[in-house]
Amino acid sequence: MAKLAHAAAAPAAAATVGVGFILKKALISALVALVLFSLMIGVRTEAGPEGGLIYWTRFGDLAGMVGGVFVGSIVVELLRMWWGPVDTAKMMPAGARKTLGLAGRVVAPALLIFTVLVPVIFYNQRYILDLGILVLTYVMLGWGLNIVVGLAGLLDLGYVAFYAVGAYSYALLATNFGLSFWICLPLAGILAAFWGVILGFPVLRLRGDYLAIVTLAFGEIIRLVIINWQGLTGGPNGVSGIPRPTLFGIPLSPGPNGLAAHLGIPFSPTHRLVFLFYLILILALITNWATIRLRRLPIGRAWEALREDEVACRALGINTTTTKLTAFATGALFGGFAGAFFATRQGFISPESFTFQESALVLAIVVLGGMGSQLGVALAAVALIGGFELFRGLDQFRMLVFGMAMVLLMIWRPRGLIGHRAPTVYLQHKQAISSDLVKEGHG
């Protein structure tokens, strides 16, 4: 009721907010922008020909930016008036819930069927296949991290460390001992899970932000060790000549032993791409399937209970130590699988692929997807990686846009695209609630 009154009052309030107010606000914004940009945009420095620094001015750019802020501020104010106060609906109306439920049932299979058909439809478009493989890799990483962050509520900023462990495990085992991809894949996963447990032990007592910073430090330690342990990892030069995957021993190469020769069809390099596409699709689906099944097991329920309230969890006799460790290990396991796939796809890996930005990107996918929603994570991966590709032309602006998008998305939808809780156990009928209603403890 109060909300209705609020909404009715909005146009009246808008009428009283005059042109003067908007102009004043825009002027202040422009003034702030002028000071902020004065030196950083207005002046450009560069090392001169004699080694000393030289600078030149760019007042045109500065004026453009300040003008842009002025106009942008007016536009934002007008839009805010147009929409009125933004208030998220806490309880979804029955109709909306029904449509959403239907959409949820339809969208996921439709997406899956489409994904399976992608190599058939776009067989001749190498770029789309490559992009598809990239997106699926991130979908898999997102689903893996979702176990740790979305289900168990443990904020992990160093997920890329497990990705790196998986990638380097495969690369080193394959190049040094000649082991095949199919033997290395489980090994890479197990090694990554092992590191997950190693990270898990010290952080058992930590919560929230502390946990985040320790996992971040752990990710950096792994990267720094990879860079500096040149004897093993090749340091910044990376590992090259990583063998390509085989279809259970049959290489996808031209020549009499290749798959094409066995099937009696002419060889084409696209075969390998299609094979990689289905390989990562299967790996991702295994991750998804395992997550869905685990959620229904006691351990999965313990994860979700841990996310909601750790103290209550302990009071109910759940062993938080094993619960946290299994969450880390399971998440790391799938990260390791994804890493091994990444290594075999690239054929070359170096520490540059495993920076903090990568961790942040995967975390952004999970949070944008709504923390815990499998479909949401997949959609977020498509949106983010697709968006990244769109801005490929604007190379140096890409991360800038990514950062801005992250801030704006958090302000617009802090709970992600699909921010709801779908309980696995329910009384009488299943009902999803908005996650705004949930008061999360510090996991």
Partner 1 sequence: MDYFAQQLINGLVLGSIYGLIAIGYTMVYGIVGMINFAHGDIFMIGGFIALISFLILVSFGLTFVPLILLVVLLVSMAITALYGWTVERIAYRPLRHSFRLAPMLSAIGMSFVLMNYAQVSQGARVKPVPPIITGGYTLHESADGFNVQLSNVQILVVVTTVILLGIFTWLVAKTRLGRDMRACEQDQTMAALLGVDVDRTISMTFVIGAALASVAGMMYLLYYGLVDFSMGFIAGIKAFTAAVLGGIGSLPGAMLGGLLIGLIETFWSAYFSVEYKDVAAFSILIIVLIFMPTGLLGRPEVEKV
The span of 2-10, 15-23, 42-50, 189-197 binding partner 1 (CB under 8 A) equals: 42-50
Rounded Cα distance between 350 and 45, Å, is 32
Q: Determine phi and psi for 195, rounding to 5 degrees.
A: -65, -35
User: At closest approach, how far in Å is the CB of 105 from partner 1?
Assistant: 27
Based on CB atoms, which residue is closest to partner 1, 268 or 434?
434
Among 24, 44, 126, 430, binds partner 1 (CB under 8 A): 44
The span of 89-97, 129-137, 287-295, 407-415 binding partner 1 (CB under 8 A) equals: 407-415
Which is it for the CA torsion 296, 299, 302, 306, positive or negative?
negative
Among 203, 313, 381, 382, binds partner 1 (CB under 8 A): 203
Terminal C-alpha separation, the chain: 35
Rounded Cα distance between 13 and 4, Å, is 14
Based on CB atoms, which residue is closest to partner 1, 19 or 411?
411
Rounded Cα distance between 206 and 373, Å, is 25
> How far is C-alpha 177 from the geometric centre of its chain's CA atoms?
33
State the burial class of residue 284 (Cβ atoms within 10 Å of its Cβ: 0-12, 13-18, 19+). Answer: buried
State the burial class of residue 374 (Cβ atoms within 10 Å of its Cβ: 0-12, 13-18, 19+). Answer: buried
User: Does residue 391 touch partner 1 according to CB under 8 A?
Assistant: no
Site string for partner 1, 135-174 (x = CB under 8 A): --------------------x-------------------
Site string for partner 1, 50-89 (x = CB under 8 A): -xxx-x----------------------------------
Rounded Cα distance between 377 and 148, Å, is 13
- For residue 341 the two structure tokens come to 């796939």
Among 28, 39, 282, 390, binds partner 1 (CB under 8 A): 39
Q: Kind of pairing, strands 250-251 and 43-47? A: unpaired
Based on CB atoms, which residue is closest to partner 1, 46 or 82?
46
Q: Could you list the residues that contact partner 1 (CB under 8 A)?
A: 32, 35-36, 38-41, 43-47, 51-53, 55, 155, 202-203, 205-206, 208-210, 212-214, 216-218, 220-221, 224-225, 227-228, 311-312, 356-357, 360, 363-364, 367, 371, 396-397, 399-400, 402-407, 410-411, 414-415, 435, 440, 442
